[in-house]
Amino acid sequence: MSLDLFFQYLFAGITYGSIYAIVAIGFNIIYNATGIINFAQGEFVMLGGMISISLLQFMPLPYAIAGAVAITMAIGALIEILFIRWLDSPSVLRMIIITIGISILLRESALHIWGESIRSLPYFYGNEITTFSLGSVHLSPQVLWVITACAVMVCGLSVFFKGTPLGREMRACAANRTAAILCGINTRNMVTLSFMLSAGIGALAGCVMSPITYTQYDSGTSLAIKGFTVAILGGLGNSMAAVTAGILLGILEAFSVSVVPLAFQDAISITILLIILFIKPHGLFGSSEAARLKDF
Amino acid sequence: MKKGIKRIVLGSAVSCLLLVAPLHSALAGTIKVGAIFAVTGPASFLGGPEARSAEMVVEKINKAGGINGDTIELIIKDSAGSSEKAVSFAKQLIEEEKVVAIIGPSTSGESMAVKKIAEEGKTLLISCAAAEVIVDPVAGYVFKTPQKDSFAAQKIFEEMQRLKISTIAIAAGNDGFGKAGKDQLEKMAPAFGIKVAAAETYDSKATDLSALVAKLKADASIQAVINWSVVPAQAIIAKNMRQAGWQAPLFQSHGFGNIKYAEAAGAAAEGIIFPCGRLLIVDSLAANHPQKALLLQYKNEYEAKYKEDASAFGGYGFDAINMVVAAIKQGGNDRAKVRDAVEGLKNFTGVGGIFSFTPQDHNGLDIDSFAMLTVKDGKFVPYKGQ
Amino acid sequence: MKQRKNRALAALCLLVVCIHLVTVLTGSQYYLTQLTMAAYYGLVIIGLGTLMGYAGQISIGHAGFFAIGGYLSAALTTRNLASFQGDWPVRWLDALKMLKTTQDLSGDQLLTVAPWAACLCAVAAAALIALIIGIPVLKLKGHYLAMATLGFGTIIYRILLASPYFGEADGISEVPGFTLLPALGGLGPIMISGDADLRVLNYYLAWGVLIAGMVLLLNLIGARVGRALRSLHSSEDAAEACGIDTARFKLRVFVLSAVYAAIGGVLLTHFNGGIGPSEASVMKSVRYVALVAVGGMTHLWGTLLMGVGLTFLSLRGVFGTFDDAVFGMILILVMLFAPEGILSLRLKLVVQRIVQGVRS
């Protein structure tokens, strides 16, 4: 393999990986606050893309994206209030089934609202073929937007959770719910807030990746599966680990093209997931103690 | 004890509800036509436009008074692309609804699953799926409207011969559409002296294909790429190729035939060459071209009614329902007569081409049904060769 | 206890015969086809119901086992071995009388595995895979278990979709009928196939298999094993404390449910004459889970009735383009209002719960 080809695979892998990572971050927020894996996270990503494309007809791009994020956050809050809020200590099984049901509903609603055609946002900078080159390797500027968004999210969340009072309240809620209630924190609202935050992050992810991947009513499903593969790979609840795991998985998939027929590419990520689950279920960078701590 | 009785009551209630024979008896003067389309699910890019086109035609006919006074009742069943549902619906339409003909299904897998059922049920089936095996070996009651993939392949290879291209790569989606195309391409390439250096199948829902493009580009012997898929992959691979700085000719399948797809690929779509029915270049057809009037009519009506661009896929369903309508005009509500009428159609103008069926040819199209198109300045224009 | 069970079984048999007679009287025998298909899906659902309800293990990948059974059986009975006739595996199969020679569509000799042998292979393969996968998977809990089963189902789907041997996206068609007993004397053959004249026979065969499967599961639940399983469902730690080998029981039930799914897959494939990759998709697995949930995870009868009933409605296309949406809605509503299943629903409690929720 020539050095050129190596770098091309590497950057292709970073492209995939950043997309997976950005979806995985959303999972971790809800998981930490509630212990729920939200199977509907992929639909938030899809909704962000779809809504922003619809809004684009009426307003310029930055406002359309902001609008989409806001609306998706509202949808996230609505879902939490309608379906999750009034369950008292539901079992894991029940929560999994409910979130799967929610994801199906969101997907079918998107089908009936927007139809089955694909859409996308325009490239933020340049068009479909602008690239800038590092040597002989070309990278689309949109990929940089995705990576930047990823980095901004991780940093922003870090600041939010460690620096702001609201963030600290959420962490308290995640660490020990009873103690948080005793401290006067409204844990129910914290759960709603975590859903809103996850939905907003998902929506932003959807907007940023839409020019690369296109958005369709069912693009949420496969993204969700990749997303929580990556989240589990990194260790549920740890966003930095999720990003690292995402990039690693993306690179692995890209390089696998050179040895394995492309048709089996998806099977590779699932196989890795299964191996990790069997050997080290708390993820590459996690441990059962870290999982108990549930730190963002 | 109570629980047992409760169950018996529940069971009987459920079964009574389920088994009440269809209360709507066939109204005098209604002819039922069945349709199995993948309106939702992974093949919705096919089934959605097909179902809408068929509904449009039937609505128009009924408004104009029906056929010889009879109204047509179009019963559309959504199979969501699954063959077991197609099987169930086929049996239901044939035995319960007693339709005179069935149009669809949308995918090859489903069509093969119901081929035998239609044949045994002696009901006309006009499939909207592309696989050659649907009409080869020929079954008396089974027809199909899409053009042969082998013709598309042939047209592409002929052009490649002209451009002196001898080594290519094939990339196809992992759905039925991609599989059918890849099979034909690989089968026919040797006859044109073209070597297939790489043939890869990717997930049709893939979000990015840069790794595949990198691998193909690294093979210096590859002079052109044929991609056989639908959106989004066909736009993604075009973008990835041009982003990688690879200017090799990119040929696509007739699945590229919708201006929205060219828009989706944007600047990367320039110069893509693909075979397609003439729907997309109807404006540049000569005024006396036999298909022009029908194509314009279909395009304008579809776009006016559904506010979306007409595509060749919808055309499959449009042609199928029109054939059934023409057959009903001849044979009435009789299944055997309707079948014979369809088989007897000659020079039937459709969106996909001009159909002439024979007992051995239940596809009825020849290679002339395809024209070569390319994209220039974001618009489809006839390909005049470079 | 046993009396109640026998009475319920008798009631079901009676219902099956009654439905047949009703269809004869109203001339609507076409319903029997879809009831037959629904019965085979019902087999998968009661197997899954036992796993989820009595062993407490969620599986969002059970369509994978159904597909393993169906696809292996289909592939073995349609793929031509004529070119391998000299090789020892083929000669060995021939010696065991597992092969069948017919003519294919173009008149050439078609050498395939006989359906009964293919069925055995397929179900055995499913059981083996369940055993191998089950040991590591069942050690996981909660979300990790769900993800692992989802992963398993997805891998099976991907393998089936990518392999030319399994027909890739088109699936496998032209699957022959499954002859259980050849034609004897004046009686016709007992065969699982989609032929119109064998419809009534297949109806009774399907329901016979389903009822037999039900009897087996009910006996299992009633016996010591079943009591052990139910204790697992309520508290695994307590069960362990009582000396029950929870791991062994869970694995056994997992393999049993996989076998049920595989048998359903094999028989339905021969009935339909084909199978497609949609049978292994995640949506199918989710659908099975939805049906188990709505029936009530610890109520096998509820699971059976609701499972067969809703599958029948779905096969008739009653839900139109909202098919998936309906199952999604069912999932949500059942989990919110009736986690113990619809049959346990008491309207008063539901209203109480809604009021409680609104107030808080």
Encoding tokens for residue C256?
Answer: 């049993």
The chains found to touch C (3+ Cβ pairs under 8 angstroms) are A, B
Task: State yes or no: pLDDT of C93 exceeds 70.
Answer: yes
Asked if B219 reaches chain A (Cβ–Cβ under 8 Å), the answer is no
List pLDDT tens digits, range B127-149: 999 888 888 889 999 999 998 88
Q: C residues 239-298 near A, CB within 8 Å?
A: 282-283, 286, 289-290, 293
Instruction: Please indicate whether, in this complex, the C-beta atoms of A216 and B232 are within 8 angstroms of each other.
Output: yes
Nearest CA in chain A to C292: A97
Neighbour count for residue C233 (Cβ, 10 Å):
16
DSSP SS3 for A115: coil
What local confidence, expressed as pLDDT, does residue B145 receive? Answer: 93
Give the number of beta-carbon pairs within 8 Å between A and B.
119
Closest approach of chain A CAs to the CA of B270, in angstroms? Answer: 11
Inspect the interface and report whether the beta carbons of C162 and A97 lie closer than 8 Å: no
Query: What b/e readout covers B146-171, taking b as 16+ CB neighbours within 10 angstroms?
Result: bbbbbbbbbbbbebbeeeebebbbbb
Binned at pLDDT 50, 70 and 90, residue C343 comes out as low
CB atoms within 10 A of CB B359: 9
- Residue A83 has a pLDDT of 87
pLDDT at B23: 42
Q: DSSP 3-state assignment of A284? A: coil
Q: Which of residues 118-157 of A touch B (CB under 8 A)?
A: 118, 120, 127-129, 131, 133, 136, 138-140
- Pairing type for strands B30-37 and A132-134 reads unpaired
pLDDT band at B74 (very low <50, low <70, confident <90, very high): very high
Select from B9, B17, B18, B136 the residue whose CB has the most chain C CBs within 10 Å, as the one to mutate to test that interface.
B18
Q: Model confidence over B3-50: pLDDT tens digits?
A: 555 555 555 555 555 554 444 444 568 899 999 999 988 888 889 999
Contacts with C29 (C-beta within 8 Å, 6 or more apart), sequence order: B95, C23, C199, C200
Whether residues A98 and C335 touch (CB distance < 8 A) is answered with: yes
d(CA B112, CA B127): 10
**How many CA within 13 A on the CB side of residue A258?**
18
pLDDT band at B124, cuts 50/70/90? very high
Q: Tell me, what DSSP letter sits at residue A2?
A: -
How many Å is the maximal CA-CA distance in chain C? 77
Contact A105 C328 (CB under 8 A): yes
Reading the block at residue B35, the tokens are 């349709």
Q: Torsion angle, CA of A264/A269/A275/A281, rounded to 10 degrees?
A: -160
Local structure of residue C187 (DSSP, 8 states): B
DSSP state of A250: H
**Residues C42-63: what's their mean pLDDT?**
90
Q: A-chain residues within 8 Å CB-CB of C144?
A: 232, 277, 281
Closest residue in chain B to residue A143, using alpha carbons only: B208
Query: Which pLDDT belongs to residue A92?
Result: 77
pLDDT at residue B98 is higher than 80? yes
Q: Which of C336, C340, C351 is the mutation pick for testing A, counting most A CBs within 10 A?
A: C336
Asked if C275 lies within 8 A of B91 by C-beta distance, the reply is: no
- The whole-angstrom separation of Cα C239 and Cα C254 is 18
CA–CA min distance C176, chain A (Å): 29
Binding partners of B (≥3 Cβ pairs within 8 A)? A, C
* DSSP E strand boundaries for chain C: 99-103, 109-113, 172-173, 178-181, 190-192, 274-275
CATH code for the domain in which residue C8 is found: 1.10.3470
Amino acid C156: pLDDT: 94
Helix or strand (DSSP H, E) at A137 = strand A137-139
ipTM confidence score: 0.87
- In terms of Cβ atoms closer than 10 Å to its own Cβ (0-12, 13-18, 19+), residue C357 is middle
User: What chain C residue is nearest to B139 in terms of C-alpha separation?
Assistant: C105
> Mean pLDDT, to the nearest integer, of C15-27?
84
Which is more confidently placed, C271 or B5?
A: C271
CB-based contact, B82 to chain C, within 8 Å:
yes
Compute the average pLDDT of residues C228-243: 65
Angstrom CA distances, C77 to A150, B323, C218, stand at 51, 37, 33
What is the mean predicted confidence (pLDDT) over B256-282? 87
Tokens standing for residue A126 = 């340049």
Token code pair at residue B182: 């890849």
Which of A5, A11, A266 minimises the CB distance to B203? A266
Q: Do C328 and A108 touch (CB under 8 A)?
A: yes
Put simply, the chain A residues between 198 and 217 with a CB less than 8 A from any chain B CB are: 209, 212-214, 216
Helix, strand, coil fractions of chain C, as percent rounded to 5: 75, 5, 20
| A124-133, C104-113, C264-273: least confidently modelled range | C104-113
Q: Does residue B271 sit at the A interface (CB-CB below 8 Å)?
A: no
What digits encode the pLDDT tens for the residues C194-209? 887 888 888 999 999 9
Q: Are the beta carbons of A87 and C137 separated by less than 8 Å?
A: no
Q: Is C150 on the interface with A (CB under 8 A)?
A: yes
Share of residues in chain C with pLDDT > 90 (%): 30
Amino acid at A137: V
> Considering only CB atoms, which chain C residues are within 8 Å of B93?
none
CA distance A261 to chain B (A): 7
Neighboring chains of A (3 or more beta-carbon pairs < 8 A): B, C
- Sorted by where each begins, the domain ranges of chain A are 26-232
Please give the Cα distance from C102 to A244 (Å, whole number): 57
Radius of gyration (C-alpha) of chain A in whole angstroms: 19
**C 89-108 residues inside an 8 A Cβ radius of B:** 105-106
Give the contacts of B259 (CB within 8 A, at least 6 positions apart).
Answer: B280, B309, B379, B380
- Percent pLDDT > 90 in chain B is 52
Give the residues of chain A that fall short of pLDDT 70: 287-296
Which chain C residues have a beta carbon less than 8 Å from that of B2? Answer: none
Q: pTM of the predicted model, to two decimals? A: 0.89
Could you give phi then psi for residue A62, rounded to 5 degrees? -60, -40
Number of domains comprising chain C: 1
Rounding to the nearest 10 degrees, give the CA dihedral for residues B62, B68, B74, B75.
140
